[in-house]
Amino acid sequence: MNDIRDANTKMRGLPPEQRAEILQELVAKKTEVLKKLRVAVINAIPHEYAATNIVFGEPEVIPVIGKREAMIEYVTLQDRAGNDLYVALAGTSGQGIAQAAAATALIAHKCPWLETVILIGIAAGQPNLSDKEKDVRLGDIVVGDKMIQYDHIKRTDGKTELRGDNLQPGDSGMLATVRRLVASQFRTDSNAPRKAWEDFISLNVSKLANAERPSPPQDPNSVKRNYSKGHNFQRSDDLPFVHVGTIGSANILLKDAAFRNELNQNHKIIAYEMEGAGVAIAAASMRMGYLNVRGICDYGDSSKDDNWQTYASLCAASFARAIIEGA
């Protein structure tokens, strides 16, 4: 896109007719790129965005044409067939449902051919210390096939009724890819497909400060697990395992194990965060699909700290890229 930037410079001081001709060429080239931007990714906070930048690669920029236009960053990835995939980077929205909805609406406005938005970030996970298969651990990845806004409630005389359980589900096409990737976790044969997200993690972990996987003692549940179910369930203890299920979203920084477990029991929520409902609502209003990809950094209880946040961000970004590329 350097030719667009050069054209902006060349227009200065030219006669109106020549400026109009250059501007027309500029708009045509910009539109050509915009038409290729069918997927956008959104992060809430800086270290999530840093992980996305590292994993997806340094972005290119579509320069502004008018004074009021906003700059658009994008990266070029490739699918399994080697075709280029153009992905817009929406940047950081800030924490909260309204902020995420605004960021989704803005990137949809800036990229009118956009079809899907992927939210990449960290979340609290739902542990299950008695069932190995259902235990969501620190460093795992959760992809939402359903979204619940658990702070959207009706309260009557001390009783609450959930109202936020009718949000648009995750994009069906991308979820089909997710389930194929998840299935590959269970293959041990010599023809098993590579787990591209694990490659992205190992290739990029040294490029991001504090991104090394924390040691087992930094997982407060590592000494509490006493599985009575799922003994034969095979999963790695030192690599992220990918779960698919319901994600709960609210303007709540969750540090309450009892409340978390109640939400899990009543609504089958397996991860908790603060932006997904906004993306789901805005995407539905723009007639777009969305997907929520989360790295697990804490358990939403009193043990919450920041030790796993950067590693979890890296895991989420790595799996999101694997989804987009269909690896």
Q: What is the pLDDT of residues 206-261, one digit of tens each?
A: 999 999 999 999 999 999 999 999 988 999 999 999 999 999 999 999 999 999 99
Break the chain into its structural domains and give their ranges: 2-325
Q: Helices marked H in the chain — which ranges?
A: 2-10, 16-36, 46-56, 97-110, 172-184, 196-204, 257-267, 276-285, 309-325
- Cα 59 to Cα 54: distance, rounded to the nearest angstrom: 10
- Cα 254 to Cα 301: distance, rounded to the nearest angstrom: 7
- Cα 301 to Cα 306: distance, rounded to the nearest angstrom: 13
pTM above 0.85, yes or no: yes
With both helix axes pointing from N to C terminus, report the angle between 196-204 and 46-56 in degrees, rounded to the nearest 10: 110
Q: Model confidence over 164-199: pLDDT tens digits?
A: 889 999 999 999 999 999 999 998 888 888 899 999
- Cα 91 to Cα 140: distance, rounded to the nearest angstrom: 23
Q: Which fold has domain 2-325?
A: Rossmann fold (3.40.50)
- Cα 319 to Cα 155: distance, rounded to the nearest angstrom: 38
Residue 188 has what pLDDT? 87
As given in the structure block, the two tokens for residue 275 are: 């932006």
**Cα dihedral angle (117, 121, 122, 126), rounded to 10 degrees?**
20
CA proximity to 147, closest of 127, 119, 128, 173 = 119
Is residue 78 within 8 Å of residue 19, measured between CB atoms? no
Residue 29 has what pLDDT? 80
Residue 231 has what pLDDT? 85
**Residue 59 exposed, middle or buried by CB count within 10 Å (0-12, 13-18, 19+):** middle
The parts of the chain modelled with pLDDT lower than 70 are 1-13, 18-19, 22, 63-69, 327
Residue with tokens 């290729």: 36
Residue 60 has what pLDDT? 92
**Residues 6+ positions from 211 with CB-CB distance below 8 Å:** 51, 204, 205, 310, 311, 313, 314
Residue 102 has what pLDDT? 97
